[in-house]
Chain A
Amino acid sequence: MIKFEQVSKTYPGGFQALTNVSFHLEPGEMAFLTGHSGAGKSTLLKLISMMERPTAGRVMINGHDLKRINSRQIPYARRDIGMIFQDHRLLMDKTVFDNVALPLLIEGYSMQEARKRVHAALEKVGLGDKVRHYPMMLSGGEQQRVGIARAVVNKPPLLLADEPTGNLDPKLSMEIIKLFEDFNRVGVSVLIATHDLGLIARLRYRTLTLRDGRMINDGLQES
């Protein structure tokens, strides 16, 4: 599903965020990406979502070299990737419904079709009754779940999450992870970047570990 081959990323100014990173995430796999702050977790996710381009090496999704995807095609490629952020990036002046419907309207769904799917997605994350609310009126955990609903509403085969539980207490974090497990169970590949080691320890998923931009453990060696 995701394949990194000797990927390095140097930011303008000389900071080397990733050095010779290689790993392969199988289709339908769920994995954690961990490492201390600044280890390169976010950079790695940004390379997958094409917010950044690698300085060297190859990033492949489903066998497609991302180098071949030009800037005009990026929007279409991103529609295959559901993204979830620590700060959830919701539009605060739009209702929960409008936030979740955004990817569908961008893809050209009719309003009726979009409404069905939005309700289904919100139902799935347990916010079926908050459709008309504004994000401000929701708790942190609920806001994060709206973000998840938005990421999965168009049923992408790949989910990326950057510190999805960063601001949540352990109980809420666990609920969020349970949601990801649900999606993973129906075949969605999930990659979750987190430094919440306690959370990782409680779950037995493959864990990729970064340190200073190098992959020190791709989760396959020891086990």
Chain B
Amino acid sequence: MSLLFRSRQQGAQQVNISGFRRFVMFWVHNVQQAVASLGELARYPMASLMTMAVLGLSLTLPATLYVVVKNTEAIGADWQHASEITLFLRKDLSQQEVSTFHKRLSLSNDIESVRWIDKNEALQEFRESSGFGEALDALTNNPLPDVLLVLPVANKRGTTQAQQLAQQLRNEREVEQVRLDLDWLQRLEALLNLVRDGLLALAALLCIAVVLIVGNTIRLNINSKRDEIMVMKLVGATDGYIQRPFLYTGVWYGFVGGLIAWLATAVMILWISGAVTDISELYESQFTLVGLTFNEMLVLWLLAIGLGLLGSYIAVRKHVRTIEPQ
């Protein structure tokens, strides 16, 4: 409906287009504008690619760090004996009592397995391997206690649960002393937390940087099309119509930037994985670096597109409105 001339029918209404077709046409126009924006970008491939690369590479750093943290967490979780509890039993227990206690523990729901190190066997081993054999001969009785190595069930291996279990075991009559070597695990966890927090902060900063860079690029784009925008406003284009191609440009930046981020992250992981393999060989373990999963790649891509869109939206909101025909 015309604003100034009631009787005058305008635009789409005039040719009597159905709501459905108008809906279809809306999307057709959007696709056309999206393709047109892509064509516009292709006219200056170097400049466009540079912006996309900045976007992509900015996301590569947090993505790679994320992969490293993810894998380190996996190591922490994988470590079977991380929260193994060592029980030193009282020395006055008979072989029979130790055996009963061992069986009792094995049946507990919280405990996956118990390994018994017999004090006589331990003494024998110690005598052979330590070189104190003669000194030990001088002792009249075995100074070593029986030892039980308790491995909690999987969901009790966290630091707090393992500590609770150790506390329970400490109260057992047969137990003289309990040792739970959690220090290094706690340190690893604290370190991981530090890296994770740092990663978040870094990712946030880089995301802001990406938004600003895209915003600035779009601002320059808008300024270079000042005359065109003025003409469009003169012939009745709404701000929304003028904005759309710029928003699509931002989306394309994110689209291609996300692909660049994938590629660069994959290269980075390939690069690191060589060193990781060397380390894991030194520790005689079979460890391979796990890259981004499909879902994580999708998230990375959507994030890139979202940032591109956000950057262009900010620029467009601010600048398209200020350009007025003269």
| A62 B236 Cβ-Cβ under 8 A | no
| A107 B15 Cβ-Cβ under 8 A | no
| A107 B236 Cβ-Cβ under 8 A | yes
User: Which chain B residue lies CB-closest to A83?
Assistant: B234
B3 in contact (CB, < 8 A) = yes
| A113 B15 Cβ-Cβ under 8 A | yes
A-B contact pairs, 8 of them (CB 8 A): A51-B326, A64-B4, A69-B3, A83-B234, A89-B230, A102-B232, A109-B15, A113-B15
The complex places the Cα of A77 from the Cα of B10 at a distance, in Å, of 11
| A157 B11 Cβ-Cβ under 8 A | no
A58 in contact (CB, < 8 A) = no
| A110 B2 Cβ-Cβ under 8 A | no
A14 in contact (CB, < 8 A) = no
The complex places the Cα of A103 from the Cα of B325 at a distance, in Å, of 15
The complex places the Cα of A51 from the Cα of B325 at a distance, in Å, of 7
A195 in contact (CB, < 8 A) = no
Knowing A79-B10, A108-B29, A110-B17, say if A103 contacts B235 (CB, 8 Å): yes
CB distance from B11 to the nearest CB of A (A): 3
A interface residue numbers (CB < 8 A to B): 49, 51, 61-62, 64, 69, 72-73, 75-80, 83, 89-91, 102-110, 113, 150, 154, 157
The complex places the Cα of A109 from the Cα of B233 at a distance, in Å, of 17
**Chain B residue contacts of A108, Cβ below 8 A:** 11-12, 22, 25, 29
| A62 B4 Cβ-Cβ under 8 A | yes
| B2 A80 Cβ-Cβ under 8 A | yes
| A80 B4 Cβ-Cβ under 8 A | yes
**Chain A residue contacts of B15, Cβ below 8 A:** 109-110, 113
| A110 B25 Cβ-Cβ under 8 A | yes
| A157 B236 Cβ-Cβ under 8 A | no
The complex places the Cα of A208 from the Cα of B2 at a distance, in Å, of 28
User: Which chain A residue lies CB-closest to B6?
Assistant: A62
**Chain A residue contacts of B227, Cβ below 8 A:** 89, 91
**Chain B residue contacts of A110, Cβ below 8 A:** 15, 17, 25
CB distance from A156 to the nearest CB of B (A): 8
B223 in contact (CB, < 8 A) = no
| A109 B3 Cβ-Cβ under 8 A | no
B183 in contact (CB, < 8 A) = no
- Interface size class of chain B, counting residues whose CB lies under 8 Å from the partner chain: 20 to 34
**Chain A residue contacts of B237, Cβ below 8 A:** 75, 106
Q: Which residues in window 7-32 of B have CB below 8 A to A?
A: 8, 10-12, 15, 17, 22, 25, 29
| B326 A107 Cβ-Cβ under 8 A | no
The complex places the Cα of A105 from the Cα of B245 at a distance, in Å, of 14
Q: Given A62-B5, A79-B10, A79-B235, 18 other A-B contacts at CB below 8 A?
A: A49-B234, A51-B326, A61-B4, A64-B4, A72-B238, A75-B238, A77-B3, A80-B2, A102-B235, A103-B236, A104-B11, A105-B29, A106-B232, A107-B10, A107-B12, A107-B236, A108-B29, A110-B25
Interface centre among B3, B8, B15, B326 (most CB of A within 10 A): B3
B324 in contact (CB, < 8 A) = yes
| B12 A80 Cβ-Cβ under 8 A | no
**Chain B residue contacts of A91, Cβ below 8 A:** 227-228, 231
| A51 B10 Cβ-Cβ under 8 A | no
The complex places the Cα of A79 from the Cα of B10 at a distance, in Å, of 9
User: B144-188 CB contact bits vs A (8 Å, 1 = yes)?
Assistant: 000000000000000000000000000000000000000000000
**Chain B residue contacts of A109, Cβ below 8 A:** 11-12, 15
CB distance from A37 to the nearest CB of B (A): 16
CB distance from B208 to the nearest CB of A (A): 31
User: Which chain A residue lies CB-closest to B8?
Assistant: A157
> Closest 6 CB pairs between A and B?
A107-B11, A79-B236, A78-B236, A103-B235, A75-B238, A108-B12
B126 in contact (CB, < 8 A) = no
User: B251-295 CB contact bits vs A (8 Å, 1 = yes)?
Assistant: 000000000000000000000000000000000000000000000
User: Which chain A residue lies CB-closest to B238?
Assistant: A75
Q: Which residues in window 286-320 of B have CB below 8 A to A?
A: none
The complex places the Cα of A24 from the Cα of B198 at a distance, in Å, of 70
User: B67-94 CB contact bits vs A (8 Å, 1 = yes)?
Assistant: 0000000000000000000000000000
User: Which chain B residue lies CB-closest to A42?
Assistant: B326
User: Which chain B residue lies CB-closest to A46?
Assistant: B326
User: Which chain B residue lies CB-closest to A71?
Assistant: B321
**Chain A residue contacts of B326, Cβ below 8 A:** 51
**Chain A residue contacts of B10, Cβ below 8 A:** 79, 107, 154
User: Which chain B residue lies CB-closest to A157?
Assistant: B5
The complex places the Cα of A34 from the Cα of B24 at a distance, in Å, of 48
Q: Which residues in window 174-220 of B have CB below 8 A to A?
A: none
The complex places the Cα of A77 from the Cα of B324 at a distance, in Å, of 15
The complex places the Cα of A113 from the Cα of B236 at a distance, in Å, of 18
